[in-house]
Amino acid sequence: MSSERGAGWRWLLLLGMGAVLPATCHAQTPKPGTAETRRYAIEVAGLRVGTMTATRQPQASVGDVVCTLTSDVKVTFLFYHLKIYYQVINRMHNGQLLLSTVEAHTNQGDFSSRAEWKGDHYDIRADQYKHHYQATETQPIAYTVTDMFFGEPHSRPRAFAEYFGDFFRVVPAGAGIYHATRDGREDEYHYANGQLVSIIKKNSLKNFIIRLEP
């Protein structure tokens, strides 16, 4: 039972990744002040267990955009109850990530991740459920998992996973289909007419499905 509980927690916490999963926040730029919003249902074994909302909001300063990804999950999984509220906030300037913060509030505790541009590098720290990581990254980050909610990755080979503080490898797998992989985990993104319509988060117990709502 302990191994099943651990697997369930790891995958439910990854729902916000979506890590980590859009064209970049500056692509397809809407009119100033106009927010773009995508709403999704989270399902497991055919049952709706939560919601996910992605928003891209241009700011007053030219070139500044704030992207958010919020997940709210409540589910009884086998013999235990899971409750997770998860939010990613990415601040972009001229297509570059300046600051990413992740907060997860669960019935197992509160967790966080942060990546901040310091002028010539990022300071990255992730303190999540059974995942602790600290690093620096010298290359500017222009594409994140949250971005994957707003358009196809196309030729982008990787996406910054805000939750983990490192990167998912992104590989095309057919028309409108992309695989995002990291450390043995795999998410499958499906697009139609350039719009993300579903994500399959593969799990040894049950796959989680994230579906675009009408």
- pLDDT > 50? residue 18: no
Ranges 54-68, 71-85, 125-139, 176-190: which has the least confidence:
71-85
If we measure between CA atoms, which residue out of 16, 48, 3 comes closest to residue 126? 16
pLDDT for the residue numbered 20: 35
pLDDT of residue 58: 96
pLDDT (mean) for 77-82: 72
Quote the pLDDT of residue 174.
94
pLDDT (0 to 100) of residue 23: 33
pLDDT at 32: 58
Position 78 confidence tier, pLDDT thresholds 50, 70, 90: low
State the Cα–Cα distance between residues 115 and 105, nearest whole angstrom: 19
Query: What CA–CA distances, in Å, run from 103 to 20, 85, 127?
Result: 13, 8, 10
Cα–Cα distance for residue pair 94/174, rounded to 1 Å = 31
User: What percent of the chain lies above the pLDDT cut of 90?
Assistant: 69
Q: How many residues does the chain have?
A: 214
Q: What are the pLDDT digits (tens) for 85-144?
A: 989 999 999 999 999 999 999 988 999 999 999 999 999 999 998 899 999 999 999 999
Evaluate whether 106 touches 15 at the Cβ level (below 8 Å): no
34-64 residue pLDDT tens: 899 999 999 988 899 999 999 999 999 999 9
Instruction: Please name the helix (run of DSSP H) or strand (run of DSSP E) that holds residue 13, with its range, or none.
Output: helix 2-13
Residue 2 clears pLDDT 50, i.e. is over it = no
Query: Minimal CA–CA distance to 23: which of 115, 92, 107?
Result: 92
pLDDT of res. 6: 52
Q: What is the pLDDT of residue 81?
A: 80
Confidence class of residue 77 from pLDDT cuts 50, 70 and 90? Answer: low
Distance (Å, whole) CA 13 – CA 121: 27
Pick from 94, 99, 93, 53: nearest CA to 73:
53
